[in-house]
Amino acid sequence: MITLEDIQFGYGTGFRLRIPEFTLETGERVAVVGPSGSGKTTLLNLIAGILTPQSGRISVSGEEVSALSDAERRQFRASRIGFVFQDFALLDYLSARQNILYPYRITPALKLDQAAAARAEDLAAACGIGDKLDRHPGALSQGEQQRVAICRALVTQPGLILSDEATGNLDPDSKHRILDLLFAQAAAAGAAVLAVTHDHELLARFDRVIDFADFRQGDAA
């Protein structure tokens, strides 16, 4: 369970975000909507510990993220959070398999062992790209690239998937297929999904929708 209480965050003297209260239950699928620049991505970064709020409290399964040190937050992020990005953020010089296992290569907290490698293969097979693991991103379609990105987000068995416009670059059919896949794999892993989206067509697929217009925000002035 993720809880945000009385969060206040701002960039310099301009952007201000205030979230009085926000909770995400285990296994819940929540969509975040709102106009551009309203702070949706900032919310994801606060929960992931990439940004630190000026005030307030963020806790994940009882662990207060906002109180962790920089190194602890990195470890928390590597082991408890899975990220899916709009632009997939795959590395062109690595194969699909190497991309999926990339978190193990960059975080000392994660140990790349046979179990992780087997999990990567299982996830890829479940996402329909089991036969394309040795291809580089340039040789994959956009849908296939996003599947690789989903596998990368899930391979560390995180409790929370943060999706930032993950279906934004896909055609309508692919959007639903990718969302089906994301939900199915998250459900299998018991992970909650918090997804930022502009696509109102997909909102019905989520358990709950948070509209950022509900949060008070604006210029500091």
201 by Cβ neighbours in 10 Å (0-12 / 13-18 / 19+) ranks as exposed
**Which residue from 8, 52, 59, 98 is in contact with another protein, where contact means CB under 8 A?**
98
In whole angstroms, the minimum distance from the beta carbon of 140 to another protein comes to 15
Tokens 């630190």 identify what position? 52
Instruction: Count CA atoms closer than 13 A to 21's CA, side-chain side.
Output: 0
- Per CB under 8 A, the list member of 55, 105, 122, 139 interacting with another protein is 105
- The footprint of another protein on residues 24-53 (CB under 8 A) is 48, 50
- What is the pairing mode between strands 217-219 and 15-24? antiparallel
The only residue of 8, 107, 169, 174 in contact with another protein, by rule CB under 8 A: 107
Positions in 122-161 near another protein (CB under 8 A): 136
Helix (H, G, I), strand (E, B) or coil at 51: coil
Which of 15, 27, 68, 109 contacts another protein by CB under 8 A? 109
Q: How many secondary structure helices (H) and strands (E) does the chain include? A: 7, 10
Residues that bind another protein (CB under 8 A): 48, 50, 71, 74-75, 77-79, 81, 83, 85, 87, 89, 91-94, 98, 102-110, 136
